A = this chain, B = another copy of it.
Amino acid sequence: MSPQELQALMPSVFAPWIVAMEMELLESQPGSVRIRLPVKQEFIHVGEMMCGQAVMAAADTAMVLALINELGEFRPLTTAQLQTSFLRPITGDHCIVTAKILRRGRKLAFGSSDIANPDGRLAAQATGTLTLL
């Protein structure tokens, strides 16, 4: 599926709260996506930095999109588990989320999401287990 097709699918798959994050699909390959996440004012916490909750939400969403693109179509699926490590602050006005499916079985899939600053420095890394229903 093209970035445009995945983008168009988002409102029918994800909660309005996630759609309102305004993630922008930049690239898609079977089993992987690259997404731009804007650092909106509402994501900024007391430390004057992007909050980790938005980073986790984007990491999960990108991994689901990567799996949809691996499958070639939307099918019912759910995240069983997500682990996120927060390495560095996100600076600047956006970050880049790169998600890929590491392994797809019949029932389970494993994926990872890297969240990087615009300069390419890794800010967070997530790994997850997804269930195909």
Decide yes or no whether A71 CB sits under 8 A from chain B: no
**Are the CB atoms of B18 and A53 closer together than 8 Å?**
yes
Closest B residue by C-beta to A50? B15
Residues of A within 8 Å of B, CB-based: how many? 47
Pairs across A and B, CB under 8 Å, 20 listed: A15-B45, A15-B51, A16-B44, A17-B40, A18-B51, A52-B79, A52-B82, A53-B61, A56-B60, A78-B86, A80-B86, A80-B129, A81-B83, A81-B86, A81-B129, A83-B127, A107-B107, A110-B125, A127-B127, A129-B129
Taking A78-B86, A83-B84 as known contacts, 5 extra A-B pairs with beta carbons closer than 8 A to each other, sorted by chain A number, are A52-B82, A53-B56, A53-B57, A56-B56, A81-B84
